[in-house]
Amino acid sequence: MAVITRRGFLEMVGALAVAAVGLGCSGRNQTAMVTPTPKGEMFSSLPWPYKKLDPDKVADLAYESYMKHHCMYGVFNAVVKSLAEKVGYPYTVFPTELAIYGKGGVVGWATLCGALNGAAMATYLVLPEKEADKVINELYAWYEYSELPNYIPKKPVKADLNPFPKSVANSPLCHVSVSNWCKASGYKAFSAERAERCGRLTADVAKKLTELINSVYDGSFVPKYSLDKRTMTCRGCHCKESALQNTRGKMVCWECHTKEGAKHIEDLEGHPKV
Amino acid sequence: MAVITRRGFLEMVGALAVAAVGLGCSGRNQTAMVTPTPKGEMFSSLPWPYKKLDPDKVADLAYESYMKHHCMYGVFNAVVKSLAEKVGYPYTVFPTELAIYGKGGVVGWATLCGALNGAAMATYLVLPEKEADKVINELYAWYEYSELPNYIPKKPVKADLNPFPKSVANSPLCHVSVSNWCKASGYKAFSAERAERCGRLTADVAKKLTELINSVYDGSFVPKYSLDKRTMTCRGCHCKESALQNTRGKMVCWECHTKEGAKHIEDLEGHPKV
């Protein structure tokens, strides 16, 4: 198969569209395909054009999408399909099934929460790197420190509990997030209730992400979540521009470095013991 | 803007190409755009067509790509650009900058190693879900248990050490992987040497991934890495289809659950203490 460059692709699309006008092709499709982004670029160049979305509608679609292909796809598909409806091409042709891989913290490894993985990927589709990083930092910190899930589906798919058990994840990691919810709720990690919890959490992440991207889009973004005081204390000695500089990261330290880590911080700065 | 469905897009491309022939458009571009994949599908449908790649060449490109946009982009861009050269469209138009977000375990959060995140994403681009999951399981286990990095660049970019310090990550997480390398090497987490290590590790991951996908492609795939015995012991009580079922995951348990977890396993099964 011949290789086509991005410039060649764009030129051809333009040429074909012009040809199509003369042959009476549908103006609707033609418009969707050839309208350039605000920056005059198309598919191969990020970020793609954005229009403000309704966070509650994106949440509903994320919940539905979770039930189809799990957590990462849940958030990513909801954002992309919502933009396909509101913006059109190129969102209309993106293969969102690419994001299925994040399920269960990447095919069950329970590393990064799939909802957060899909959220970060979606953010890079619509925002420049600097703005995207601010949104991701805010979203991840909100996820770590908030009692979730809050989303209530119109028709619960896996389990209908009222009130629905909540927990604070204390981590962006699937393993920790799920374990803490199991501990708080008493339900098992492979139960229908846990699947329902992750579906609702996926909706919460999609809603929060949409609110954050909307706020960057209209210039009202103000970060509200900083890292917690104890984690900042740890980072002061162990992270970037510190004395020891023997690690990296923004995750809550004392969730994994429990007894010894907590005692160490308490000794150093008088913070309350975990 | 009007919404265009995938079917509508494909039909339009066909119609426009037919129109273009009549108007004397370039046959080369036209062929590249409308030639279907071997399965009769195009951009929106996964997996995309694959042709066997040279693992060493992909590794070289991953190392170069790391130096441009970090770890996740390093692996993902190397695979996609290599396939753009060998297969052509649709790899030629994919915006690989999408994968920059995984840098430093997602914008410095040090969650999932970006090289592994990009590898999983690339795998889902080229393999069906079932085969992709096998490749990812094998790649992640290899990464956890292997002494890395092995890759030696022709021209080291960040630091030229000989021999280059290696470590066993014991985890797919950036935070743990980096910390263990810092401990083994004595270099700091934000040093040029650590950046060099992650660039070489990115090349290693890209090479291993290419070997694994090639082996699935030609039918010779045989998994060699299973989870370690102690982690399997933990999973026997705490994970899927177990008595407690209070967590999930395939990461090495005893890397984070150190003293108490290790003692607990030793008491139960007589495994050596960590």
pLDDT of residue B269: 64
Q: Which residues in A lie closer than 8 A to residue B123 (C-beta atoms)? A: 101
HEC sequence for A192-252: HHHHHHHHHHHHHHHHHHHHHHHHHHCCCCCCCCCCCHHHHHHHHHHCCCCCCCCCCCCCC
d(CA B171, CA B228): 12
The interface residues of chain B toward chain A in range 192-231, judged by CB-CB distance below 8 A, are none
Mean pLDDT of A225-238: 89
Asked whether residue B263 carries a pLDDT value surpassing 80, the answer given is no
Q: pLDDT, tens digit, for every residue of B119-143?
A: 999 999 999 999 999 999 999 999 9
How many A/B residue pairs have CB atoms within 8 Å? 284
β strands within B100-203, DSSP E? 147-148, 167-168
pTM: 0.84
- What angle, 0 to 180 degrees and rounded to 10, lies between the N-to-C axes of helices B55-86 and B192-217? 60
d(CA B115, CA B201): 8
Of how many residues is chain B composed?
Answer: 274
Residue ranges of domains in chain A: 55-217, 229-269
Asked whether residue B154 carries a pLDDT value surpassing 80, the answer given is yes
Mean pLDDT of chain B: 84
* Cα angle A103-A107-A108, degrees, rounded to a multiple of 5: 90
Question: Quick check: A253 contacting B, CB < 8 Å?
Answer: no
**Whose structure tokens read 């510190």?**
A242
Q: Name the residue among B15, B175, B191 with its Cβ closest to that of A251.
A: B175
- Beta-carbon separation of A1 and B101 below 8 A: no
pLDDT of residue B270: 57
d(CA B158, CA B153): 11
Asked whether residue B170 carries a pLDDT value surpassing 60, the answer given is yes
Asked whether residue A164 carries a pLDDT value surpassing 80, the answer given is yes
Bridge partners (DSSP) listed for residue A148: A167
Question: Quick check: A187 contacting B, CB < 8 Å?
Answer: no
DSSP one-letter code for A270: -
Question: Quick check: A262 contacting B, CB < 8 Å?
Answer: no
DSSP one-letter code for A167: E
Task: Chain B: give the shortest CA distance to residue A14, in Å.
Answer: 10
Asked whether residue A13 carries a pLDDT value surpassing 80, the answer given is no
Could you tell me which residues come within 8 angstroms of residue B169 by beta carbon, excluding any fewer than 6 positions away? B113, B143, B144, B146, B148, B176, B177, B180, B181
Continuous segment of H or E residues that includes residue A116 = helix A114-126
At A161 the three-state DSSP class reads: coil
Calculate the dihedral angle through the C-alpha atoms of A58, B123, B132, A123, rounding to the nearest 10 degrees.
-10
The interface residues of chain A toward chain B in range 45-84, judged by CB-CB distance below 8 A, are 45-46, 84
**What distance separates the 2 farthest-apart alpha carbons in chain A?**
79
Backbone angles phi, psi at A112, to 5 degrees: -65, 130
- Beta-carbon separation of B178 and A46 below 8 A: no
Q: Could you tell me if the ipTM is greater than 0.90?
A: no
Continuous segment of H or E residues that includes residue B72 = helix B55-86
d(CA B8, CA B42): 13
Q: Name the residue among B6, B28, B174 with its Cβ closest to that of A249.
A: B174
The two three-digit tokens of residue A236, written as one number = 């002061």
Q: Which residues in A lie closer than 8 A to residue B98 (C-beta atoms)? A: 46, 121, 124-125
**Contact criterion met (CB below 8 Å) for A111 and B256:** no
pLDDT of residue A42: 56
**Whose structure tokens read 């030609």?**
B218
pLDDT of residue B20: 34
pLDDT of residue A264: 76
Asked whether residue A131 carries a pLDDT value surpassing 80, the answer given is yes
Q: Which residues in B lie closer than 8 A to residue A239 (C-beta atoms)? A: 189
Q: Name the residue among B19, B95, B105 with its Cβ closest to that of A23.
A: B19
**Whose structure tokens read 């996609």?**
B80
Of how many residues is chain A composed?
Answer: 274
The interface residues of chain A toward chain B in range 123-152, judged by CB-CB distance below 8 A, are 123-125, 129, 132-133, 136-137, 140
Continuous segment of H or E residues that includes residue A168 = strand A167-168
Q: Which residues in A lie closer than 8 A to residue B190 (C-beta atoms)? A: 240-241, 245, 248
pLDDT of residue B273: 40
pLDDT of residue A267: 73
Asked whether residue B15 carries a pLDDT value surpassing 60, the answer given is no
Asked whether residue A76 carries a pLDDT value surpassing 70, the answer given is yes
Question: Quick check: A5 contacting B, CB < 8 Å?
Answer: yes
Asked whether residue A6 carries a pLDDT value surpassing 80, the answer given is no
DSSP one-letter code for A130: H
Give the β-pairing of B167-168 and A167-168: unpaired
**Whose structure tokens read 């014991």?**
B170
Q: Which residues in B lie closer than 8 A to residue A189 (C-beta atoms)? A: 239-240, 245-248
Q: Which residue has the higher pLDDT, B95 or B273?
A: B95
Closest residue in B to A14 (Cα) is: B16
Using alpha carbons, select from B22, B45, B24, B20 the residue that is nearest to residue B33. Answer: B20
- Beta-carbon separation of A189 and B93 below 8 A: no
The two three-digit tokens of residue A137, written as one number = 């930092």
Question: Quick check: B114 contacting A, CB < 8 Å?
Answer: no
- Beta-carbon separation of B4 and A136 below 8 A: no
DSSP one-letter code for B174: H
d(CA B88, CA B106): 29
At A141 the three-state DSSP class reads: helix
- Beta-carbon separation of B46 and A95 below 8 A: yes
Q: How far apart, in Å, are the Cα atoms of B93 and each of A8, A44, B29, B88?
A: 10, 5, 13, 9
The two three-digit tokens of residue A271, written as one number = 């913070």
The two three-digit tokens of residue A142, written as one number = 């909100």
